Structure 1
Amino acid sequence: MRSDAAESAERPARRRGALVFLRDVLVIVLIAALVSFVVKTFIVRSFYIPSGSMERTLMIDDRILVDELTPVWAGYDHGDVVVFKDPGGWLPPAPQRPARPFVVEAADWVLTFVGLSTSDAQDHLVKRVIGLPGDHVVCCNALGQLTINGSPVDETTYLNLPPGDTMASDIDFDVTVPVDAIWVMGDNRDRSQDSRAHRELPGGGFVPLENVVGRAFLTTWPLDRFGLIDTQDDVFRSVPEAG
């Protein structure tokens, strides 16, 4: 049998081993949280779709990933689906949320911090880029199409329109996009409160580029809808540059 002295010497060693293990776990968790925060803030971010304004491209409660990094140096293109923070007055006031236990609030804050929760998505919208800085966007021509810099755009391949309807918009407009903004519209035009519906606001319905989080590129949930988000390159290929 081992002596009491030997056992007494082993107990501090075991305690030190447990403390070292806990320290290593804590360091790993902190590094993982930091990496997740950096990824969410500068590279890719998750959002959910709260409305039907982008049907059938995006459905209510779809989960999407947004590329925040590429547009920093490549900019945006016609047809990109973008997520942006409310420019002011686009969304109704958020309802007062019932008080939640401190533990739940803290957990939600941590999950949002690392990008696993989308609780802040309620302040954001998702639409398709129709007009880039400097573009002259007009709707509609004799065929019901919108034109960008004088070039007609046939959107019927992706718009969610009532049967027999070919009008790109039931609201006429003629706008020139400011140099620091974009003009956005939903694919489900009859149910989309987009740039057309906010022209009376101080921003004129345009979305400042500084409000744009990034380009949505992937639907991740539900699994049967997993896949890349179509930017409709063929539809906008013939649009000339502004000016």
Structure 2
Amino acid sequence: MAESRRARRSLLRDSAIVVVAAVVIALVVKTFFFQAFSIPSGSMNNTLLKGDRVLVDKFSPWFGAEPARGDVVVFKDPGHWLDDTAEAPTPHNGVGAYVQNALSDIGLMPSADENYLIKRVIAVGGDTVSCRAGQPLRVNGVILHEPYLYPSATPCDDDAVGTVVVPAGDLWVMGDHRDDSADSRTQRLRGHGGGFVPVSDVVGRADVVVWPLSRWAALPEPDTFHQSGLSQPGDGILEPLALGALVVLTLGLALLYRRRRRVRRVRRTRGF
């Protein structure tokens, strides 16, 4: 009987250790590595649909990596971008909001009241963007062939802004559904900071769609951004480091847990 109680206590203790370790891993991953975000609108159709969950790389920026042309990035609202738009977060109340925020704290769900947007980086600091009605989008004079555009969308017919030079330290971002995206063009016309997004406001690059499972897909930089005169040597080399660090962390914790169990078994065998 005593041995049975001891076995139950050991099982409960081991289960608690597993749960605590899982929460610690989730917190570390959310803080330093990856975080899930929900797509709030149709501005990135059909690359991303409303309700999709994407996993955002927060690790690479710790090593100085900055967003590159073609990246899909999540960023904080630079100021009034979410006013009167379909991308504003829907308020939640009651138990549902409490549960969602609790899961958000460990990175399993996005926050119920987060003020973030997701767009594609079209140009970085120092680039010249040409966005004119009836013409293709150009960056530094190079035409962008944009296979990711929503089928019925035009590159610049809506909210054409002419020629824009992106300041150093800023980004020019646009949605893939150009006719339904309040992006840098719209914000420039509204007078919101020239329509630019400070690099410091970027949370990270969206690397993969993780939910629903039927929509699972990676989000690589399109080939059009690798044209001569546009490519940025060294872009993306830190993403494998992020994945590698996550694997090392998980394996390290697993090994420590196995070693703890092995030591406990040896002590029980020897009567300690």
1:55-94 mapped onto 2 (5 Å cutoff): 55-73=45-63, 74-92=65-83
| Change in CA separation of 1:132 and 1:201 when aligned onto 2, cut-off 3 Å | same
Corresponding position of 2:42: 52
Q: CA deviation at 1:25?
A: 3.2
Query: Secondary structure of the equivalent of 1:204?
Result: helix
Match of 1:124 among 116, 129, 140: 116
**1:56 & 1:105 partners in 2: Cα distance?**
28
CA root-mean-square deviation? 2.8
Q: Which has the larger radius of gyration?
A: 1
Superimposed CA distance per residue, residues 123-153 of structure 1 (whole angstroms, 9 cap, x where no aligned partner): 1111000011121112228x61222122222
Identity of counterpart residues, as a percentage?
A: 42
Corresponding position of 1:172: 161
- The AA in structure 2 aligned to 1:189 is R
TM-score (norm 2): 0.72
Match of 1:158 among 148, 151, 164: 148
Conserved 8 A contact 2:69-2:225: no
Q: CA deviation at 1:232?
A: 0.7
| Change in CA separation of 1:98 and 1:135 when aligned onto 2, cut-off 3 Å | closer
Q: CA deviation at 1:167?
A: 4.2
Whose RCO is larger (CA < 8 A, sep 6+)? 1
Query: Secondary structure of the equivalent of 1:30?
Result: helix
Query: Secondary structure of the equivalent of 2:18?
Result: helix
| Change in CA separation of 1:120 and 1:237 when aligned onto 2, cut-off 3 Å | farther
Conserved 8 A contact 2:89-2:115: no
Superimposed CA distance per residue, residues 61-89 of structure 1 (whole angstroms, 9 cap, x where no aligned partner): 11211111124433222111111111110
Task: Please tell me whether residue 34 in structure 1 is matched to residue 28 in structure 2.
Answer: no
TM-score (norm 1): 0.80
Match of 1:182 among 150, 161, 171: 171
Query: Which blocks of at least 5 consecutive residues in structure 2 are unaligned?
Result: 233-272
Match of 1:229 among 198, 214, 219: 219
Higher helix share: 2
Task: Please tell me whether residue 209 in structure 1 is matched to residue 209 in structure 2.
Answer: no
Task: Please tell me whether residue 139 in structure 1 is matched to residue 131 in structure 2.
Answer: yes
**1:236 & 1:172 partners in 2: Cα distance?**
24
Conserved 8 A contact 2:225-2:231: no
Single out whichever of 48-57 and 143-152 deviates more from structure 2.
Answer: 143-152
Corresponding position of 2:94: 100
Aligned length: 226
Query: Which blocks of at least 5 consecutive residues in structure 1 are unaligned?
Result: 1-6
